[in-house]
Amino acid sequence: MRKFGTILLLGILIFGVIGAGCVGKGTTSTTSASTSTSSSASSAPTKVYKMSVVVGPNSPWGQAAKMWADEVEKRTNGRVKIQIYFSGQLFAGKQTNEFVLLSQGVADFAVGSTINWAPQVKELNLFILPFFFPEGKKKGDIYKAVDAVENGKAGKRIAEILESKGVVPLAWGENGFRQVTNWKHPIKTPDDLKGLKIRVVGSPIFIDTFKALGADPTMMNWGDAITAFQQKVVDGQENPVNIVIIPYKIYEFHKYMTIWDYAIDPLIFAVNKKTWESFDPQTQQIIKEAAIKAAKWEKAMARIGLDDGTSLKILKEKYSYTPEITDPLSFLESKGMEITTLSPDQRAEFKAKVGSVYKTWVPKIGKGLVEDAVSDIENALGIKVEVPS
């Protein structure tokens, strides 16, 4: 495991240099993004597979994609080379098209956000039902709820649905619980959101949610968002702390953040079905094991400092890795952010406003799937889950 930690660190370092060049050029035919030293035993030209990622190489999301690709190349002795297309290069920035490209085989692999795939896979809106996941009784319970859904009846159903659409899911990673930031004022009650122009992802449930909360949502691709924050085209946005807000330095644009855990964005390490079926069982096993290993690291990175300490333990013990930032909220405060963490009562005030979203979206997601998720969570946490109706 120590060896893996070292390779990981090296990979991240080297990758920072090579990856940055690769993003700008948008090359399609080289394998320069790879840091593996192994080479193919055969002299036949090797097919270079394409992997899609919405964010850049500075986020643990991008780093985990790189870990996955490197591990696969290494363990297959260079037979399976994967070039990563960061920052949405493969779909010209339109992130809600990623699933289409993956299911059609334009991308062979992806570490994709369930939010970005939700327009094509309606069931994935489950994770973005506002305030669906309960905080539970103690710190970290909300993450146990997420794991219970992913590994439970609901997750199994979702995996089958993805596969029926030509995408084989191999592991769950995490973008994280999405927190709202803005440059104008603290958000403590729904009234504070009134009239705020909030950038959201181009999945329609976000528009319904932020309208229900009284805000003024506007859809925008991530590739355009940073400039929009810089120029104050919008007042705020919502994204997870460790995977997006810190790597993208959102604190440089927004002073205020509210921790409200209103929606989770699981990531899925996935392969196009035809590509998957073209591999022999041994190669499939390598690809799957590498996905699980990278995803587990990535999920811990998404949760570090926000859960009950489990993630830091995983990173240290299983990966011999201690990240630079282990207390992300203090880090953000040191950068000048003012952070509001909603109390259960304050959170309930927001949840009381979004009944209309459930009315519209539960039928689209499927009542049975929502019920499965509720029972997965209730069994794991031993609490009652309230679903607005």
Q: How many CB atoms lie within 10 A of CB 41?
A: 9
Minimum CB separation of residue 55 from ligand X2X in Å reads 5
52-81 binders of ligand X2X (CB under 6 A): 54-55
198 binds ligand X2X (CB under 6 A): no
Among 129, 201, 294, 300, the residue binding ligand X2X under the rule CB under 6 A is 201
CB-nearer residue toward ligand X2X: 95 or 258:
95
Nearest-angstrom CA–CA distance, 355 and 6: 48
CB-nearer residue toward ligand X2X: 34 or 103:
103
257, 103 Cβ separation under 8 angstroms: no
Amino acid at position 190, single letter: P
Give the ranges where 26-59 is alpha helix by DSSP (H): none
CB-nearer residue toward ligand X2X: 178 or 296:
178
The residue with tokens 């049975």 is: 368
| Segment lying near ligand X2X (by CB under 6 A), choices 112-120, 147-155, 300-308, 328-336 | 112-120
375, 155 Cβ separation under 8 angstroms: no
268, 333 Cβ separation under 8 angstroms: no
222 binds ligand X2X (CB under 6 A): yes
Bridge pairing between strands 216-219 and 338-341: unpaired
CA distance from start to end of the chain: 48
Nearest-angstrom CA–CA distance, 250 and 244: 8
Among 35, 89, 96, 113, the residue binding ligand X2X under the rule CB under 6 A is 113
| Segment lying near ligand X2X (by CB under 6 A), choices 110-118, 227-235, 301-309, 354-362 | 110-118
Minimum CB separation of residue 307 from ligand X2X in Å reads 19
**Number of residues binding to ligand X2X, judged by CB under 6 A:** 12
| Segment lying near ligand X2X (by CB under 6 A), choices 19-27, 78-86, 109-117, 330-338 | 109-117
116 binds ligand X2X (CB under 6 A): yes
CB-nearer residue toward ligand X2X: 80 or 267:
267
CB-nearer residue toward ligand X2X: 54 or 302:
54
Binding to ligand X2X by CB under 6 A, coded x per residue (else -) over 223-242, reads: ----------------x---
36 binds ligand X2X (CB under 6 A): no
244 binds ligand X2X (CB under 6 A): yes
CB-nearer residue toward ligand X2X: 51 or 201:
201
Nearest to 6 by CA among 67, 56, 60, 75: 67
Q: Both tokens of residue 13?
A: 């370092």
CB-nearer residue toward ligand X2X: 78 or 202:
202
Those residues whose C-beta lies under 8 Å from the C-beta of residue 264, and which sit 6 or more positions away, are: 127, 128, 133, 146, 174, 176, 177, 178
CB-nearer residue toward ligand X2X: 52 or 116:
116
Q: Both tokens of residue 219?
A: 């859809």
**Number of alpha helices (DSSP H) and beta strands (DSSP E) in the chain:** 16, 10
Q: Exposed e or buried b for every residue in 92-127, given b needs 16+ CB within 10 A?
A: eeebbbbbbbbbeeebbbbbbbbbbbbbbbbbbbbb
Amino acid at position 275, single letter: T
CB-nearer residue toward ligand X2X: 75 or 178:
178
Binding to ligand X2X by CB under 6 A, coded x per residue (else -) over 165-194, reads: ----------x-------------------
Q: Which residues bind ligand X2X (CB under 6 A)?
A: 54-55, 95, 113, 115-116, 175, 201, 222, 239, 244, 265
